[in-house]
Structure 1
């Protein structure tokens, strides 16, 4: 035993060194290696990296690996050297059986980018199997009456090796009665037969012992033996004879159990028990046949009792023996060849060669996502597979070779619409009826910064009370981004712009994380009424995307200014105002007119006058709305010549702001009364009074028409822009007009209370405003039309000279000239 093992080791090493320098060739674009079977684990097949044109660094970085279609991973890649090595023992006979060619197809997968190469490894046979017989001892019974030349078939030896290493010849031990002949069968199979060379004589030699040896063609030659014992029987000189030597049967793979597949028939020329025949399978019938078929011993019918599987075995050779009941028994032989017809009973299978990779949503068409292959165990049309994708899928299948495909992008991807695609692939064969299977491949879409931040609205209106605390929050803007991760992180900033010549960043600042806008200091409505902030939202993508929104900040007035007396002018300077009045004044005599202004707006600027204290309260009265001081009764001789009046002036704000003015009235005798004369003149028609009246009527009519036209224009614009703007009073175009003085015209019509007035504001709203106010008091018997054009909220020197024209001491000529001048300014 030791010598035999040593001999085998020597032969093993010789073969290994013989195939050490492996051959590789390229056929149809594929790389082929040739190796002997039974190589040790770790044996080098070939330098795969070199043959594929890859560097050693690429082998590791691109994850070079192989996938086998044989079910086992016989080979692997040495990542350090890029060599294809044997991973486990390869038994060619177990892998390919008696096939002349044994080729293992391998798929080489390279990632980043995905590539697929197909190589083939041919497994060459070595003489590692000896011929063997199913039985080591074979018994034959031959009648002594057997004729010379009669042939008796023997068991064929089996050698799993192929080619020159397969079974080549038989030898027979020397014997004077028998010789050995080889009978060639269909399919290239050789069957040894014993030929009777001389008549047998049981009385001389009843038993013959022969040794049958089977030899293969390997180097060195291997052999197997079987001991044959021949018993010579007495007289039953006719053996059963079949109608045919070979019965051929075609059987569908889905044949029903119990079906009779063949009826071989044998006849025997003998009579009686010598002519009665029993059928049976040959003694060397393998278990794979016995598990599928059975034979009726009386009729010879062969019955199917198991399930056929074309994919396991496509044909069966069944040896049938017909044996009579003579003494000695005699038997005849035939063979039944069963060819199985394939049925489409295997659904195609989809194999993922390379796991799918994540795909950017901006990936170009044709980007490889995964590598797949399809296979079907059936044959012919039943094994032809086609792959399909659902309609409308942004992916397609690109065939490469054989049944291998690449799943590639074929349409636009949008992560915001769908973050992951479950690509369903349907494989259908060409059988009848066709079979199909499905496989779902998940493909994750990675985000690309292709969406800018979007504000909740394009513009915001913020209303802020003046005199607020610095650092208080004004408003919080918000924007959202449809992207993901860093591409969706938003930071807020304020674009640099000017407000009254100063950078807007000195007024407000914004929290870059949450979009909250804070005031830098307190705001004064009298100095700044409205301004706008341009807010930018920018994401953190690369490159980053941004969008803008406009925040309109409107300062709301608070009652933080007390009324200021502008007439009498002496009261403005802080001294006592002295007025003269004749003692002959009657009831209703206009003594003076107190005029005050308030820097606030709206109700906060509505002013009322009240007589707080007086030397003689029964003598004077003050008009609540106009500030006119008149006599309540006629002056008598008993009244003091010096009257002191304390007049209180209040606004309509909350809380109320007030101021006082002291007027000293001197009663004098013989003092001329120009107002009485004027009143008489106005009653009589005159050329001058008619002209003044005409001017007043024209001015009032013009202002009324202007108000009506302006209201109509603003109403139409508000209706047209109601959908795109949250406020009709402020639009982008209006904000732009703030920068150009004298382009903005604001008309306020007030009809509250007994005072009716129209206020026309013009000029730069962000700086100083110009005011033209017409006051019509029903409490006065005269209508006053006064134009006031202040240059600021605190400087009233220019206004005093204008208001002096309405005093009793002034002439109507000056007032009418002032009216004409201001009307020309208003309508020019």
Structure 2
């Protein structure tokens, strides 16, 4: 039989295939499409972007891509309209062979954020493969003696299609000798053969030619043919016969070569050569069978001669012939079905499909880092793979679809604690014993700016000497940032503020990269003792983070100011041109004048000492000067031999390194007690005016002395009476007992606050000591000062004559320095130059006057709130005036000790009185004095 095809069959086949095309979705997030094989390029498959819920505008920005393993570029997506279409020829038989199910698995990956979708496209079979026989012609040798209904097996055709397209039907060309035995649907092995319906007669028909046609069930139908050439043989009546026509054997895969599969045995009723059987594989056996198996022609043993792999083929069909040696030879046939059993011989395979690295340390939980695909060529439990992750890492594996896993973030990251993770993923199958594979993933943690720069300490103290060169480096600040790269790049800047009337940036600057702080101009301790400012550190992250550190710059004093003499005042000579009147009747130790000087420096640099320079000619002067007080006193009683005009040179120098000094000239006029005193003022308007002036001076001087003496006695009497009435149990002070002035716990003078002053009169030494103690020490007898004692740098020169005791009365050596106790001060030491103890203060400060400063020398700190107005010191010709002054007030002439001359000046009268005789006498004396001068 023959089948003819119309010209439109091919087009009808394609149209029919397209009509069966369908698209649908199923659960679990997977999309299914179907497409017929052999579809043309551009054939519509599905609207994949719409079905996945993606907008067309975001396909390109999110890097939409489609990948399929081992499928090349069969399918493609148009990024403009989101349609999946056929890109190249799809051959189902090439993709899946004879597998019933055939589909293309697509992985759709989009970034930002990372998402993965799974799409399966089922390839529908079309009837594009005709049935094919192993060869185009088959030769059969059949003895003429074969009985009716003898069966002669034939090899059927094969069709690469599946389903209805592979269901074959056979028909035999018309003849009178043979009919076709067709296989039934229930048979495991499709048996096809010729059945002898009429006895053969070699003499009548030595050769018979038949055509066997196979037709598949597709629409349109396709056919295949084979030519059967039958040769009729003579004689041999019995053919070999096997026990069974089908043998089934189970064989494990990977068995070694030479393994026995089965031993076949056939019998032949003939004798001699006609019963001698030889075994062989049928010529109809497939090539892969002939390459894997070998049959012994004598014993009939089938053995393995090649690699048996379950993944390559799950079964083998071996066709065996038993042929006798008769003439003509007769053959018997059987089939051996070898079923290959799977063993766990394949290790799981892992494939990383996408990696999103590095991962930011602030990534949210559940962020997908990688996609992993696992596979195993084994089947059943041997091919079931599970993945695990090495423990103690902030990640986990999540199974998404079949053998797909996602590596996701499971806990928060901190790059500063750990910036790199080495993950080990293990894939293990379910075989026994199981096989596993491992893969390492290196995960870098990207830095974010979550750490601000930090300084080692919140505040630094810096000491800088004054008069520094402009632009000198005074300090370096350094901040550390735990972040990385630009997030750890620190820059420094000043926190701008006002320092007085000027901006901070006019004093200091900071280098933005190194943090080096520079002084832009010379600093002056007298102008600025403490410069406090902040330096900020900021990183280069986005947004930037910053912090600040405080710098305290203490400007240390240098000896850059020489002592300065104060203008001459009443009772003291402050420089050349001043003058004092001295009675010759005074005894040794009488204070006749005082030199006052100040030094703008502080500490040792402002500690002034006074020295009397020797007179010209080497004459011994009857005067001396206090080393630290500047008081000029007599060393002996003055007599007539002393010159009436004394010129003294006093050297005033500080204790700096090197020391700076200045000289003061003091003019003294010696006056007898029984005559009018001589004045050191030069006459400028004639003898009459000079005589009148001397008379006035003499009168006023006597009045002043009397007034002062009376006031002194009255004050002593009143004070003694008040003290005795207030404290009747204490009684009067004994003679020679010094008056103690002690500081209280709050830093003020208890002497002044509690009104416990005590002035004692009577017999005994006429001098009194004024002593001050630190509040941390209990009142005790005064200690002699150590020769190497130190004083505070905050003690300034030019202290006022008033007593200031600020805070606790403790002088400090500077910031953080040790406390020091002041030495006892005496104003009436019998030998001032031999063991005299005086305070380390500037010139012009009375030996009974103290000024205390608190802390690092804050000039604005005020003193105590209460002090007595005046003290009367027994044995002294002066009235000590003590006033409370601010620490930064200027020294005034009226602040110092005043003697009788000052009181006299205040009591001058506008009109002069006297008799003429006295005027003449004074005039004569004045003339004599002027000539002497």
TM-score category of the 2 structures, normalised to the smaller one: 0.7 to 0.9
Q: Which residue of 2 aligns with 1:706?
A: 775
Stretch deviating more after TM superposition (762-771 or 425-434): 762-771
Residues 154-186 of structure 1: CA deviation (Å, up to 9, x unaligned): 111111112232242122122221111113487
Asked if the contact 2:40/2:89 (under 8 Å) is kept, the reply is yes
Name which one, 1 or 2, has greater alpha-carbon Rg: 2
User: In structure 1, the residue corresponding to 2:122 is in which secondary structure?
Assistant: strand
Q: Which residue of 2 aligns with 1:326?
A: 326
Structure 1 position 25 matched with structure 2 position 48: no
Q: Which residue of 2 aligns with 1:601?
A: 602
Closer, same or farther: CA 284–651 of 1 in aligned 2, 3 Å: same
Q: Which residue of 2 aligns with 1:796?
A: 891
Q: Which residue of 2 aligns with 1:724?
A: none
- 645, 652, 657: which is aligned to 1:642? 645
Asked if the contact 1:96/1:102 (under 8 Å) is kept, the reply is yes
Structure 1 position 666 matched with structure 2 position 758: no
Closer, same or farther: CA 432–326 of 1 in aligned 2, 3 Å: same
Q: Which residue of 1 aligns with 2:234?
A: 234
> Aligned equivalents of 1:501 and 1:535: distance in 2?
20
5 Å-filtered alignment, 1:337-356, equals: 337-356=337-356
Q: TM-score, normalised by structure 2?
A: 0.74
> Aligned equivalents of 1:215 and 1:745: distance in 2?
126
User: In structure 1, the residue corresponding to 2:343 is in which secondary structure?
Assistant: coil
In the TM superposition, residue 701 of structure 1 has moved relative to its aligned partner by: 10
Stretch deviating more after TM superposition (307-316 or 510-519): 510-519
- CA RMSD, Structure 1 to Structure 2 (Å): 3.9
> Aligned equivalents of 2:518 and 2:290: distance in 1?
94
> Aligned equivalents of 1:492 and 1:523: distance in 2?
23
Q: Which residue of 2 aligns with 1:747?
A: 811
Q: Which residue of 1 aligns with 2:739?
A: 694
> Aligned equivalents of 2:496 and 2:59: distance in 1?
55
In the TM superposition, residue 539 of structure 1 has moved relative to its aligned partner by: 2.9
Structure 1 position 618 matched with structure 2 position 620: yes
User: In structure 2, the residue corresponding to 1:418 is in which secondary structure?
Assistant: coil
Q: Which residue of 2 aligns with 1:761?
A: 853
Structure 1 position 377 matched with structure 2 position 377: yes
Could you list the runs of 5+ residues in structure 1 that have no partner in the other structure?
A: 679-685, 711-728, 731-740, 773-780, 812-828
5 Å-filtered alignment, 1:776-791, equals: 791=886
> Aligned equivalents of 2:860 and 2:345: distance in 1?
95
In the TM superposition, residue 549 of structure 1 has moved relative to its aligned partner by: 1.1
Asked if the contact 2:13/2:220 (under 8 Å) is kept, the reply is no
Asked if the contact 1:743/1:764 (under 8 Å) is kept, the reply is no
Q: Which residue of 1 aligns with 2:531?
A: 531
In the TM superposition, residue 370 of structure 1 has moved relative to its aligned partner by: 2.5
Q: Which residue of 1 aligns with 2:408?
A: 408
In the TM superposition, residue 139 of structure 1 has moved relative to its aligned partner by: 1.0
Q: Which residue of 1 aligns with 2:565?
A: 565
Q: Which residue of 1 aligns with 2:909?
A: none
Asked if the contact 1:344/1:432 (under 8 Å) is kept, the reply is yes
> Aligned equivalents of 1:468 and 1:707: distance in 2?
38
Stretch deviating more after TM superposition (249-258 or 273-282): 249-258
Structure with the higher fraction of residues in strand conformation: 1
Closer, same or farther: CA 13–182 of 1 in aligned 2, 3 Å: closer
Asked if the contact 1:462/1:551 (under 8 Å) is kept, the reply is yes
Q: Which residue of 1 aligns with 2:388?
A: 388
In the TM superposition, residue 341 of structure 1 has moved relative to its aligned partner by: 1.4
Asked if the contact 1:558/1:604 (under 8 Å) is kept, the reply is yes
Asked if the contact 2:806/2:853 (under 8 Å) is kept, the reply is no
Residues 234-275 of structure 1: CA deviation (Å, up to 9, x unaligned): 222222211222221112223232221211222222211111
Q: Which residue of 2 aligns with 1:714?
A: none
Asked if the contact 1:365/1:409 (under 8 Å) is kept, the reply is yes
> Aligned equivalents of 1:539 and 1:176: distance in 2?
104
5 Å-filtered alignment, 1:29-48, equals: 29=28, 30-48=30-48
Asked if the contact 1:645/1:662 (under 8 Å) is kept, the reply is yes
User: In structure 2, the residue corresponding to 1:61 is in which secondary structure?
Assistant: coil
5 Å-filtered alignment, 1:216-231, equals: 216-231=216-231
> Aligned equivalents of 1:580 and 1:271: distance in 2?
180
> Aligned equivalents of 2:175 and 2:458: distance in 1?
114
Asked if the contact 2:482/2:488 (under 8 Å) is kept, the reply is yes
Asked if the contact 1:744/1:763 (under 8 Å) is kept, the reply is no
User: In structure 2, the residue corresponding to 1:76 is in which secondary structure?
Assistant: strand
Residues 568-621 of structure 1: CA deviation (Å, up to 9, x unaligned): 636776553323434455665544443433231222122222223525641244
In the TM superposition, residue 505 of structure 1 has moved relative to its aligned partner by: 4.9
> Aligned equivalents of 1:709 and 1:294: distance in 2?
122
Asked if the contact 1:476/1:517 (under 8 Å) is kept, the reply is yes
Q: Which residue of 2 aligns with 1:824?
A: none
- 657, 660, 667: which is aligned to 1:657? 660
Closer, same or farther: CA 194–696 of 1 in aligned 2, 3 Å: closer
> Aligned equivalents of 1:323 and 1:464: distance in 2?
120
Asked if the contact 1:788/1:802 (under 8 Å) is kept, the reply is no
Q: Which residue of 1 aligns with 2:336?
A: 336
Asked if the contact 1:527/1:767 (under 8 Å) is kept, the reply is no
> Aligned equivalents of 1:515 and 1:336: distance in 2?
91
Closer, same or farther: CA 701–118 of 1 in aligned 2, 3 Å: farther
Q: TM-score, normalised by structure 1?
A: 0.83
Structure 1 position 176 matched with structure 2 position 180: no
In the TM superposition, residue 190 of structure 1 has moved relative to its aligned partner by: 3.0
Asked if the contact 1:488/1:539 (under 8 Å) is kept, the reply is yes
Asked if the contact 1:745/1:763 (under 8 Å) is kept, the reply is no
How many residue pairs match? The answer is: 763
In the TM superposition, residue 791 of structure 1 has moved relative to its aligned partner by: 4.6
Residues 716-755 of structure 1: CA deviation (Å, up to 9, x unaligned): xxxxxxxxxxxxx99xxxxxxxxxx966865143789974
Asked if the contact 1:565/1:572 (under 8 Å) is kept, the reply is no
Asked if the contact 1:614/1:643 (under 8 Å) is kept, the reply is no
Structure 1 position 627 matched with structure 2 position 630: yes
